[in-house]
A and B are shown apart, each in its own frame.
Chain A
């Protein structure tokens, strides 16, 4: 390893917890997530010539991870593994536990996120989990900011609705029930 590779290696180690969290969100399976982390590391080190000093290393690495993930999903083996674990019916995620009140369990939240379309999930993970601004997420995914905004809005609204506590859902239904009663 030359000096530049060693420097990037050091910085990669520092960023590893965040990259691993992003991988966990993309794969929803810790084994695949660690494989994705390793593939990202390997690809970053072999493509160092693409990295421009002075730009954001973290965004470059997140971009590589996303690309590796998308490419890997196109191979059937990986798709089977990754999706089999995360295949979830959105409604089921929201309603499986009757005792859901204000606190949504980690497991349920992960299942709901896994049930989102891939492109919405990626934006959600960058902004709501990694804490990036819309502009930073647009930079990572090389997309216009408008696309980021609309994908994020769709993801967040559907999650918010799916996480609506049972009691609130009942309240929302109340006027409808009253109307039916009056009409009798």
Chain B
């Protein structure tokens, strides 16, 4: 049996039955090239499997039920009445003013929003936040979670865990960040559970700058 790419990938994914698996393994043992490819496939699969994990954590977006569709389908009469009410002469100017005000405010807000001055830094920050949330959620105190984003890297380490008087869970943590060869900024912080079930960082302060 020739081991082609599909077969090798299926082997790494555990999708082969026991006899096919044994045959592929026998060939892998004999071939350093296949061994190297299996290792590469395993490494890259591990990297891919966590690539979008940030999306799992933190507050989820608000979902808007498609209310108007329901009205239209199930209660067409009521929907038409609502529209007729909205189109009454007295309501039209108010709606128009509200619409213009909304557009102006939206424009002002957009102009006022800071441009992404340093995109790389923003990405680093997202990776750090993702790693921090994951570490606070799953890791025991004292264990290190490493993060890396481009040339920047560091670690997160949960320290003490405690419950406040009002029953809120909080964890202290240590965080390091910096460029590959440069000095690393060491910070400590405190994060507590928020009402949405995520972690809210209440304070973060530098401890010292040191070469690691």
The answer to the question of A82 belonging to the interface, with a C-beta cut-off of 8 Å to chain B, is no
Knowing A110-B51, A128-B45, say if A42 contacts B66 (CB, 8 Å): yes
A104-130 at interface with B (beta carbon < 8 Å): 104-110, 113, 124-125, 127-129
Q: Which residue of A lies closest to B63 (CB)?
A: A41
**Complex alpha-carbon distance, A125 and B51, angstroms:** 10
**Band of interface residues on A:** 35 or more
Q: Which of A31-39, A58-66, A72-80, A176-184 contacts B (4 or more CB under 8 A)?
A: A31-39
Give the contacts of A124-155 with B (CB-CB under 8 A).
124-125, 127-129, 131, 133-134, 149-150, 152-154
In the bound complex, what is the Cα–Cα distance between A110 and B126 (angstroms)? 14
Structural contact, B60 and A152, CB atoms closer than 8 A: no
A164 CB contact (under 8 Å) in B8, B9, B12, B40? B40
Nearest CB in chain A: distance from B54 CB, A:
7
Q: CB-CB < 8 A to A107: which residues of B? A: 123, 127, 149-150
Task: Look across to chain A and name the residue whose beta carbon is closest to the beta carbon of B60.
Answer: A16
Contact B48 A106 (CB under 8 A): no
- Chain A residues within 8 Å of B9, by CB: 149, 152-153, 156-157
- Check if B5 sits within 8 Å of A154, measured CB to CB: yes
Rounded to whole angstroms, the CA-CA distance of A29 and B140 in the bound complex is 31
Question: Which residue of A has the minimal Cβ distance to B36?
Answer: A168
Contact A46 B66 (CB under 8 A): yes
* Interfacial residues, chain B to chain A (CB-CB below 8 A): 4-6, 8-10, 12-13, 15, 36-37, 40-41, 43-45, 47-57, 60-61, 63-66, 69-70, 73, 123, 127, 148-151, 180
Task: From known contacts A103-B148, A164-B40, infer whether A30 and B55 are also in contact, taking CB-CB under 8 Å.
Answer: yes
Main secondary structure of the interface of A (DSSP, over half): helix
Residues of A within 8 A of B6 (CB): 149-150, 152-153
A99 in the interface (beta carbon within 8 A): yes
What is the interface of chain B mostly: helix, strand, loop, or mixed? helix
Inside 8 A of B61's CB, which chain A residues have their CB? 20, 34, 37-38
Q: Which residues of A contact B66 (CB under 8 A)?
A: 42, 45-46
CB-CB < 8 A to A46: which residues of B?
66, 69-70, 73
Instruction: With both chains docked as a complex, state the minimum distance between the C-beta of B90 and any C-beta of chain A, in angstroms.
Output: 32
- Closest CB-CB distance, A26 to chain B, in whole Å? 10
Give 23 CB contacts A-B under 8 Å: A9-B63, A12-B63, A16-B63, A17-B55, A17-B56, A20-B55, A30-B55, A41-B65, A106-B47, A107-B149, A110-B52, A127-B13, A133-B15, A134-B10, A134-B13, A153-B9, A156-B5, A156-B45, A159-B44, A160-B40, A160-B41, A160-B44, A163-B43
Q: A20 to B60, Cβ gap below 8 A?
A: yes
Q: Cβ of A42: which chain B residues have Cβ within 8 Å of it?
A: 64-66, 69
Which A residue's beta carbon lies closest to that of B62? Answer: A38
A75 and B63 alpha carbons, distance in the complex (Å)? 23
Report the bound CA distance from A150 to B151 in whole Å. 34
